[in-house]
Chain A
């Protein structure tokens, strides 16, 4: 059974502050790690797909890093804005197309 764990489960951050959260996954048979942002009543939106150890990806104020040897990925948000409020999901795939999801980190930005 593959376990993908995300922490913390929820987070409240003051507008303007930076924050980060973690996704841990099995380090064996790694293929790719995906990050999604999921706003209420909308479709999960793909943020990053990361495949190489040491990968760093950036999209605006959001960035992510990947360590496949120890099995973790960090998602960073710089200068949080109210529109960043969402649930952030990570998902692991191990050589096929199937994704195994974590339970998500629910981020609330306080104006």
Chain B
């Protein structure tokens, strides 16, 4: 199997606070993990590529100081939304790449609401 967990599944936080989301590959090691965001009625948009032991690569328009990514082990990547604002409210979902077959396996996602 290739199971990816994500925690928490839902979080509500106040504006100005930081929130950490964890993504774990449970039964395989993943040198590469990906973080996506989905706004209502839109597609999954890649935010950043997380590589174990090195700095994440961010997509154009994604603020690296706001969305801190740490991939400290082969089974865990974290996304921290710093100084969250209501416009950061969204659905965040991670995937982990299993090598081979180089397929991406997704977590169930995290619904973030910033009040």
Contact = CB atoms under 8 A, between A and B. Distances in A.
A100 B34 CA distance: 12
Given A42-B108, A43-B107, A101 B43 contact: yes
A89 B43 CA distance: 9
A46 B95 CA distance: 11
Given A4-B43, A43-B4, A104-B43, A97 B102 contact: yes
- B interface SS class: strand
Counting contact residues on chain A (CB < 8 A from B), the size range is 10 to 19
B49 A98 contact: yes
B102 to A, nearest CB: 7
Interface string B14-27: 00000000000000
A71 interface: no
B29 interface: no
Which of A36, A42, A43, A97 counts the most B-chain CB atoms under 10 A from its CB? Answer: A43
Contact of A46 (B32, B42, B93, B105): B105
A102 interface: yes
5 contacts: A36-B106, A41-B108, A44-B93, A89-B43, A104-B43
Interface of A: 4, 34, 36, 41-44, 46, 49, 89, 91, 97-104
